[in-house]
Amino acid sequence: MNGTARGGPALADGPIYLDYNATTPVDPRVVLAMGPFLTHWFGNPSSDHPYADEPRAALAAARARVAALLGADGERIVFTGSGSEADQLAVRGAVLASEAARPHVITQVTEHPAVLETCRALERLHGVRVTYLPVDAAGLVDPGRLAAALDADTVLVSVMAANNETGALQPVSELAAVAHEYGALFRCDAARAAGRIPLDVRDLDVDLLTVVGHKMYAPKGTAALYVRAGLALEPVVYGGGQEYGLRAGTENVALAVALGTAADIAATELADGAATRIAALRDDLHRSLATALPGRVHLNGPAKERLPNTLNISIDGTLGHELLAAAPGLAASTGSACHSGRHTPSPVLTAMGIAPERALGALLLSLGRWTTPEDVSTAATALINAAGTP
């Protein structure tokens, strides 16, 4: 689905949207599917009367749809309220359920803050040992470094499938194989990868995997965790036993339906070549900028092993936040953070060995379902004009 000129919902009258890695517009088909469960089919799926029948069936169907996107069985899908919650259930849940005397966790320095902060909390509150692996210049984890860090007490290895800033794709199946050689679980955050590239939990050989609704055209407030059969986790919310006892609270059926519908649409579009179409637009944007600004445009991250929608570049002689301010018709991101009016470079880029001045010039341009060739052309012109002469 390419959308109409200027794209999809809420995009027709606004700036060109190139921030799909931050969040996606909700697909109208998703809104349509979830609507009846906000109004007519309001019953509690755990109840024992006819008002529960449709919600209960819809919940099961939503699990099956999310599972199908991941090559999994439906009963292995646990719905959560956010990706951060799913991350905590996976990491904290695996550690607290383990029998290791002093559990050891391995992650990497460019992992999402939801994982990094959970690891720091486990260190602080439970005395867990955590190893933070470095990344190379492409932002990738070396399987050899992982092997060297593993020991008999390693409970879990957590490495994201794709980096949210550079789109770098980690060698997940290779890393998982190394972890499993030592008897450790392997957990993968696929928030940005799910629906953008094919994923199969069996081929990847992962034990836990996170998907997030608002990264794949569903509303915010819904996510899911794939849990391998037979794997014990400590619950993240205690109570009435919903979600296989891992996340208590009456299920939000409407949001589960939304995520299931989004997963179904994503699977169909992947099969129809959506990734190839978006990658071509991304490369057109990069080519236009590099041609108009010769020698000034630098790609941050791998050229090939990255998400098809993600372009992270630095332009010599510019600062990312100033460049976007000079291009008000464009909605995109930088990797920098602003504290009291002072911008600091992205930790992801500096971890890759990129100099602070180049990191401060970074732009994250992420395309999506409703990005058109006209959007790319207009965005390129705006950035070229804003970059000017150094």
Degrees to nearest 5, angle at CA 251 with 248 and 253: 170
Which tokens in the block code for residue 61? 């169907």
C-alpha to C-alpha distance for 3 and 193, rounded to whole angstroms = 21
Dihedral sign of CA atoms 267, 268, 269, 275 in order: positive
Is 188 an active-site residue?
no
Are the beta carbons of 222 and 255 closer than 8 angstroms?
A: yes
Of the candidates 147, 148, 338, 355, the residue annotated as catalytic is 338
β pairing state of 310-315 and 297-299? antiparallel
Active site residues: 338
